[in-house]
Chains A and B, each alone.
Chain A
Amino acid sequence: MLIAIAAHFAVAAMLPLAARRCGRAAFAIGALVPAGSLALALTYLPGVLRGTPHGESVHWAERIGLLFTVRLDALAMLMTLLVTGVGAVVLCYFGRYADRDEPGHGRQAGLMVAFAGAMLGLVLADDVLSLYVYWEITTIASFLLVGGAGRDEESRRSAKQALVVTVFGGLALLLGLIVLAVAAGTFRLSGILADPPDGAAVTAAVALLLVGVATKSAQVPFHPWLPAAMVAPTPVSAYLHAAAMVKAGVYLAARLAPAFADRPVFWVPLVVLGLWTMVLGGFRALRQHDLKLLLAFGTVSQLGFLLVLVAVGTYTAALAGAAMLLAHGLFKSTLFLTAGAVDKGTGTRDIRELSGLGRQWPQLATLAGLAAASMAGLPPLLGFVGKEAALKAFLHATPKDVAVLCGITAGSVFTVAYTLRFLVGAFGTRPGAAPSRAKPPGAVFTAAIAVPALAGLVVGPGVGWLAPLAAGYAEALPGAHDYHLALWHGLTPPLLLSVLVLATGYAVYRAGRAVAVVSGRVPEPLRAQRGYDTAVSGLIRLAHGGTGRIQTGSLPVYLAVILLTVVAAPGTMLLLRGLPAIEAPWSRSWLQLPLAAIVLAAAGAVLRARRRLTAVLLTGMIGYGVGGLFLVRGAIDLALAQFLVETLTLVVFVLVLRRLPPPFARPGRERTGGQARSGQPALRRAEWRKALVAALGGTFVAVLATAYSAGRERLPPASAWYVDNAKPEAGATNVVNAILVDFRALDTIGEITVLLVAATGAASLALGAGRARRRTMPRPGRDERTEVRR
């Protein structure tokens, strides 16, 4: 089957080229791939029914455990049939649906085939990483398909919402899968499920997986992306709803159920959310006027139903889940394709404008009626079989089963009601309205719609063919194996319940107007779409605010961020550990006091300096003052070096300052002239803030220096050696001198050389640049200078 997956992607890559030659035929070429895959999968069917899954694998990156593995068991086979079968039908339909003259056929055909390939890979994958890879490819493919050419704001917004929500879920899924795989010690899905690990981490992992499931399968509160995605071309919607994308979540839940359904963390959220979604989706569907939106909310509802069935984890529920999975794929694709045909034929999908279509298109109306009957759960269709099994699965007198039964009964009532609404809305004749003018649907549309519709009809009575496959999946689950899928079980409670549901559903449909009023009353803060919008806009506001505050482009602010971090992060840690006692005396000589005062005064004055030269001289004073402090402590060599460097720096500064205007350019001062000092409190506050940060940073460094330099352990061996050997080896009483001119004389020569080279370079730059400038180019004239300043 790996070759089938690969074929999807290879053909998808080539279709854009093919479309240039043959236009819409590209879709038909694309349809061959899922059709071929379906045939290939069917060759493995006997083995799967015997209970021996088919497996293949190929290495991707062995070192980190990445490999492509497929495992075709009963559940995968069921999904494969759906994915490839519906895929082929939808692609054929798309070939007719796309406008002949519109560009982009190749893109859409390629994306559809890639989408089908990713979905096929997803259901077949047996290692968690390739599962995740396929999962994300379906996300991206659906994003591109929903966005379409992205002409209008609406489709861009919808596509983005679908992407954001499902990518978020995808990441949660990835994390869950990795935690699960690490806990189980294997990346093989079958391995994890055969021997499910335990522990708190696994519980968290399962919860994360469920986030992925809920986002992908559009469960409350993530559901709004699915109806919003209705802006996509109808064939894309049909595939998205019937077989791909949203079914991925259901598939994953079904895949995990045999191992985890006995844990509350797995079934409780799924059952609660599923029931809620089922009822809410059905309810919302009753308010829609757009055929596609009506179906979309129907899908939301049905997905909730499916998740409840697979999450409960009993044999009968799993049988029902398998049957409903297939039934939903068949009837939903039929109905979507019908909606597309209606849209194409009449130019509208609004049920308030359509009228009399049933008389004009009897064939299509019949086929859609079959599918709708399956959706509502009428015999002898597959939907009926599934719903019977589902009702049967919960007919027990435990509180859990009763609650679930009530939920799905309510959901089914709404399902019947919106089915009627769809059917009557699309094909009924409204009294007093002119019949819609419709072009005939054509053979391709009718055929594409007929295939899934008739399949639902055939498999209903012939459910015996499906039963072994469904049982092959359900076997792994606990519960009595006494139920089997069949059309007729006799006059049983589920049948009576079904009749009740149909009758109530009809009544609800008739009372449609009242429903419409009630359903508008959801409190604003509880609406899921609003939640999504708030989250997104909040994030953007946060980003704007953050940028405005942090990234102002001002150097002092940047420096302040770094300084404050230095003070805050390591500083607090160090303070918590306690400062060591400072053993040094406050002063060793009275001379230190005036020197320190001079240094501090000069440092303070630099900040207030308004002329460059003053600032430079004051900086020099700080340096000389520090040199004086060295001198007082007897570090003559250090003091000399400090004096030398200060002098050199001063000279270089003065050379540079010749070329600069004397006063500093101050922000704001130029504009407001002399009143600036008192007139700009904001500016002065900013200066105070800067001064505070600078003082904090300086204090931190100084405290660090005094406190911790006393903390050093011992004289390093080298120092001790120098002290011991200065006199005997070098004959010097000053250790520093001995080091400089004797022990490390070569180093000293090196340092002197570097200093000389640097001084020469600086001098030649300062002196030579002026000459070169005078030689090569004239100074800018007066006019240009003013222009520059402006």
Chain B
Amino acid sequence: MLNPFLAQQGGAIETPQIDYAAILPILIVLGAACVGVLLEAFLPKHQRWPVQVGLTLLTIVAAGVALGAYVGDAPEQGITTLSGTVAVDAPALFLWGTLLALALGAVLLIADRSVEPGGAFVAQAGISPGTVQDRAQVSSTGMQTEVFPLTLFALGGMMTFTAANDLLTMFIALEVLSLPLYLMCGLARRRRLISQEAAVKYFLLGAFASAFFLYGIAMLYGYAGSVRLADIAAATAGTDRSDTLLFAGFGLLMVGLLFKGSVGPFHTWTPDVYQGAPTPITAFMAACTKVAAFGALLRVLFVAFESTSWEWRGVLWAVAIISMAVGAILGLTQTDVKRMIAYSSIAHAGFLLVGTMAITDEGLSGTLFYLLAYGFTTLAAFGVISLVRDASGEATHLSAWAGLSKRSPLLAAVFTFLLLALAGIPLTSGFVGKFVVFSAALSDGMAPLVVIALVFSAVAAFFYLRVVVLMYFSEPAPEGPTVSVPGAFTTAAITLGVVVTLLLGVLPAFALDWAGAGGFALSS
């Protein structure tokens, strides 16, 4: 924001400095999203899919290249730009890289048209579910290609979200990332009612969460007289102001952030939405939204609320325990694979919160690493889920997965590996992630919480292994699902996820070094 004193007293309006090189990745993504909307308006229908896919993939690669070019000579302490509203520092760069890589995988899944002929998305979103037209669109080959610009908008919002250095920017980024997601949830080609129900639920609950977030910002502004994270930190550090306004604002702000990160007890939307949304979108949401939400949470806690950590830690302890308990225990009884992974994501959100609460360098790098590891694993898991199908679409009921290893040993092996990674078995990225997060929490004096987290890891491992047992040790159902031969896109996405999961498990040093490259930029 422009400081009115300077502007008026200096006589001329002083334009804020913009470090274009630093924010180039965001600019590329958002710019391409706008181009995508235009393409949608002006291209004939049959040309849209190839052009949109090409544009989207190119955009993500170009943003990645721009990021890579910037990382090479980025200042170590990070910079803030756009008059301090956006901070481009080591965690932001790491999260951007993570988001771009995950989005690449998700876009590959979204673009796939071989598994479900025509793609997982509805051909014409305006048709009512269950009508003759709807049955006709199921077998048609077109798809609503607006998904691609929407994905890019959401991605741009996520990248801004993780780099936002003041709460208003963060709120706008939150909306930019959320609105496209609400829409995309309702675009499934099959089972459209449940998909639309998911979209409505996500939207309504998300609107409430956003409202709380905004209310929290207002309170914090009232407390600190500024929405900048650094100013809030300065206000908490050395004043005798009444803390109540601060904590009311903090609590409401957390509601918004924890909702996006699907942390229990703000998780209620997660299973329904994960189940209803088209699987590629679920993959995108599960991987990228989690990264964005926890990236922002880390920044808020580290930059603005570090000095008051003793005051709020109790509440977040409770939240983390609830999240782990809900995810691990309710996950046990799920009979739907997508819902099961949803509960796993709730449990993982609890584990992530354990690392986030450790306001130390190890906590930061551990949580960042965990996000990277979890994102790729869950992305590949949803990719695999999209392959197991029967006549009515994806066969997500667990009974359909019985004896899958006999029909498709490779698929069963890949899924087993991913489940083991989610359970945190050694030699997968999940183990290293859990290890760094828990050890950071331990050294920050949260041993009881780590004990609880370990217990829930054990409970959660039980339900992952239940699926493994089911796939390997059961007789396949006589009219079970078939395993589609994935097209190049889905294969690439799953391979990406599996390879990264394995690499991070066996050789985590590189990613850990990058995750620990530096802290948040504190200057405003």
Which A residues contact B (CB, under 8 angstroms)?
A: 59-64, 66, 129, 132-133, 136-137, 140, 143, 147, 149-151, 155-156, 159-160, 163-164, 167-168, 171-172, 174-175, 178-179, 182, 201, 204, 539-540, 542-544, 546-547, 550-551, 553, 555, 557-559, 561-563, 565-566, 569-570, 573-574, 577-580, 701, 704, 708-709, 711-714, 716-718, 721-722, 725, 729, 743, 769, 772-773, 777, 780, 784, 787-788
Which residue, B205, B242, B248, B472, has most C-beta atoms of chain A within 10 A?
B248
> What are the nearest 10 A-B pairs in CB distance?
A150-B473, A570-B251, A712-B222, A558-B268, A133-B426, A543-B332, A543-B333, A788-B130, A171-B454, A61-B509
Contact B242 A711 (CB under 8 A): yes
Contact B333 A544 (CB under 8 A): yes
Report the Cα distance A344→B462, complex, angstroms.
Answer: 35
User: Taking A61-B507, A150-B472, A712-B222 as contacts, is the C-beta distance between A788 and B458 under 8 angstroms?
Assistant: no
Report the Cα distance A62→B245, complex, angstroms.
Answer: 45
Report the Cα distance A98→B248, complex, angstroms.
Answer: 68
Question: CB < 8 Å: which of B128, B315, B443, B473 contacts A570?
Answer: B315
Instruction: Please give the distance in Å from A101's CB to the nearest CB on chain B.
Output: 18
Report the Cα distance A543→B226, complex, angstroms.
Answer: 45
User: Taking A566-B251, A713-B223 as contacts, is the C-beta distance between A547 and B330 under 8 angstroms?
Assistant: yes
Question: CB < 8 Å: which of A59, A172, A743 contacts B4?
Answer: A743
User: Taking A64-B435, A182-B443 as contacts, is the C-beta distance between A562 and B209 under 8 angstroms?
Assistant: yes
Which residue, B252, B259, B426, B516, has most C-beta atoms of chain A within 10 A?
B426
Contact A61 B508 (CB under 8 A): yes
Contact B447 A179 (CB under 8 A): yes
Contact A547 B333 (CB under 8 A): yes
Question: CB < 8 Å: which of B255, B330, B432, B436 contacts A550?
Answer: B330
Contacts of A780 in B (CB 8 A): 128, 131-133
Contact B455 A171 (CB under 8 A): yes
Q: B207-257: which residues lie under 8 A (CB-CB) from chain A?
A: 208-209, 212, 215, 219, 221-223, 225-226, 241-245, 247-248, 250-252, 255
Contact B439 A178 (CB under 8 A): yes
Contact B4 A718 (CB under 8 A): yes
* Contacts A555-B200, A565-B266, A777-B127 known; 8 new A-B pairs at CB < 8 A: A63-B516, A150-B474, A559-B205, A566-B252, A569-B318, A708-B219, A708-B245, A721-B5
Instruction: Please give the distance in Å from B330's CB to the nearest CB on chain A.
Output: 5
Contact B244 A580 (CB under 8 A): yes
Contact A156 B469 (CB under 8 A): yes
Contact B244 A558 (CB under 8 A): no
CB of B326 within 8 Å of the partner chain: yes
Report the Cα distance A725→B5, complex, angstroms.
Answer: 11
Say which size band chain B's interface belongs to. Answer: 35 or more
Contact A182 B509 (CB under 8 A): no
Contacts of B319 in A (CB 8 A): 569
User: Taking A550-B330, A570-B251 as contacts, is the C-beta distance between A64 and B469 under 8 angstroms?
Assistant: no
Task: Kindly report which residue of chain A lies nearest to residue B219, judged by CB atoms.
Answer: A708
User: Taking A64-B508, A555-B201 as contacts, is the C-beta distance between A164 and B462 under 8 angstroms?
Assistant: yes
Report the Cα distance A163→B469, complex, angstroms.
Answer: 11
Task: Kindly report which residue of chain B lies nearest to residue A704, judged by CB atoms.
Answer: B248
Contacts of A179 in B (CB 8 A): 442, 447
Instruction: Please give the distance in Å from B244's CB to the nearest CB on chain A.
Output: 5
Task: Kindly report which residue of chain A lies nearest to residue B216, judged by CB atoms.
Answer: A570
User: Taking A63-B509, A156-B473 as contacts, is the C-beta distance between A577 and B244 under 8 angstroms?
Assistant: yes
Task: Kindly report which residue of chain B lies nearest to residue A168, judged by CB atoms.
Answer: B458
Instruction: Please give the distance in Å from A264's CB to the nearest CB on chain B.
Output: 22
Report the Cα distance A712→B218, complex, angstroms.
Answer: 10
Report the Cα distance A555→B206, complex, angstroms.
Answer: 12
Instruction: Please give the distance in Å from B134's CB to the nearest CB on chain A.
Output: 9
Contact A171 B509 (CB under 8 A): no
Task: Kindly report which residue of chain B lies nearest to residue A788, judged by CB atoms.
Answer: B130
A-B contact pairs, 17 of them (CB 8 A): A62-B509, A63-B508, A66-B435, A147-B472, A156-B469, A182-B439, A204-B447, A551-B271, A558-B205, A559-B208, A561-B265, A569-B315, A573-B251, A573-B315, A579-B244, A711-B223, A711-B244
Contact B255 A566 (CB under 8 A): yes
Contact B223 A712 (CB under 8 A): yes
Report the Cα distance A177→B197, complex, angstroms.
Answer: 47
Question: CB < 8 Å: which of B223, B245, B329, B435 contacts A539?
Answer: B329
Contacts of B333 in A (CB 8 A): 540, 543-544, 547
User: Taking A61-B508, A565-B266 as contacts, is the C-beta distance between A574 and B244 under 8 angstroms?
Assistant: yes
CB of B410 within 8 Å of the partner chain: no
Contacts of B499 in A (CB 8 A): none
Question: CB < 8 Å: which of A150, A175, A561, A743 contacts B469?
Answer: A150
Contact A543 B265 (CB under 8 A): no
Report the Cα distance A136→B434, complex, angstroms.
Answer: 15
Contact A551 B222 (CB under 8 A): no
